[in-house]
Structure 1
Amino acid sequence: MDARRSVARGTRLLRFSLTHTHTHKHSIILGSSSMARREILAEMGYDFTIMTADIDEKSIRKEKPEDLVMALAEAKADAIMMRLKSSGQLEEISHPTLLITADTVVVYQGIIREKPANEEEARQFIRDYSGGSAKVVGSVLVTNLVTGSRKGGMGECRGTLLMLCQCHTVYFLDIPDEVVDSLIEEGIVFNVAGGLMLEHPLTLPLVDTVVGTADCVMGLSKSLTEKLIQEAL
């Protein structure tokens, strides 16, 4: 299936894979509507299905960005598990099945930025990055749907819940007004934290330096996700 044409709706599970996908003895569900996360996990060689959490992210508030992305990743996992349980699918799972959820926020001058609420906010976000920098904080949570364990590398929270958050900084060159206009008109910036799209063809040439790794900034650390998958099994 062409990764760029995959779409998830409601509780429907969609298959997402690459030609060179490796054979694994476990199944993976990616609980995310992010195309970047789908592409990253596919690049890692995994065959997986997709479910979206469809939670009200604005209803979950934390002062610290690290706490917020953790709480949101957990809420997404809980929502998907509840949906699987209510449909009877959770009880039918007998082989190792892992649910991967994640969340990312941008921190600009100490202020947490999530997805832009409107055009004005998106435009302000992007203009603020011009000639400046922004920090990206992200979390990854892997839940074993058979054993119920959740794994990461930060410490314990709610018994078996373990997660690791990472912080990276992106430095930008000057962003021309016409680029801002094009990004707003295209509309994709409304679906990403802080309106920050590292991988976009219009913004990538304007990235000066990334302190960290691109996959983390895009929403899913490859090394961390691989580590958590092995630990969850």
Structure 2
Amino acid sequence: MESAPQQFKIILGSSSVARRKIVADMGYEFTTMSADIDEKAIRKEKPEDLVMALGEAKADALIERLQNQKHQENDAKPTVVIAADTVVVYEGAIREKPSSKEEAREFMKGYSGGHAATVTSVVVTNLSTGLRKGDWDKVEIYFHDIPDKIIDNMLEEGIVLKVAGGLIIEHPLILPYVKEVVGGTDSVMGLPMALTRRLIEGVL
């Protein structure tokens, strides 16, 4: 069955491979653009406030760049810009991307036999009307003990240095040590599908 052509354009404001895969899995056609902002310049006490502020800042940066590029609305299709941000919360502390292998190791050792949460924001803007909607989603993750050898392998591979809190649950090495995920794996990976779809519909 042929699906109806998409009635809007999507720009995903992220260079994250996982986020790209999620939007593709949702069945959308899209282009990507990276929102280069200084994330460290934005500080908030609460993780929910932080991810929303970062999501908004990314959206602002993307929209400014698109307007500077004289984004031409040649056709009747509206353009929707999606920005997102994820942080990990462990024992009440907010964790962003590890700054070193040592920090990533410390993060992962903490998850071993313990639990963490991810808080992810999604901010969707209709470029044509300026309408913007955003919200956040939280997921709890419980781990079995993670052997040191697995942590060593993950550090050697290096991918944990590129993600919030050095937390990856979909990786084949880590998957067997994930005890329970309360919420959606897509949200942990950086983009909750149901929320994203709801926000896209909300701005159109």
For 1:175-194, what aligned pairs fall within 5 Å after superposition? 175-194=146-165
**Residues 90-121 of structure 1 deviation map (CA, whole Å, 9 limit, x = unaligned):** 66675311001111100000000000011111
Secondary structure of the equivalent of 1:171? strand
Residue 25 of structure 1: how far off its partner (Å):
1.0
- Give the residue type in structure 2 aligned to 1:40: I
- 2:104 is equivalent to residue 133 of structure 1: no
Q: TM-score, normalised by structure 1?
A: 0.84
The alpha-carbon deviation at position 87 of structure 1 amounts to 1.9
With over 3 angstroms needed to count, the CA separation of the structure-2 counterparts of 1:217 and 1:91, relative to structure 1, is: same
1:61 paired residue among 43, 57, 81: 43
| Identical-residue share of aligned pairs (%) | 59
Give 5+ residue unaligned stretches, structure 1.
Answer: 1-19, 152-162
Give CA deviations for 1:27-56 in whole Å, capped at 9, x if unaligned: 000001111111111001001000000111
Partner of 2:138: 167
Instruction: Give the alignment partner of residue 206 of structure 1, picking from 177, 182, 190.
Output: 177
Is the contact between residue 135 and residue 170 of structure 1 (CA under 8 Å) also seen in structure 2? yes
Which gives a bigger RCO, structure 1 or 2 (Cα 8 Å, sep 6+)? 2
CA distance in 2, matches of 1:93, 1:42: 23
Aligned to 1:147: 129
Give RMSD over aligned pairs: 1.5
Asked whether 1:106 is paired with 2:112, we answer no
Aligned length: 203
Instruction: Tell me the residue number matched to 1:38.
Output: 20
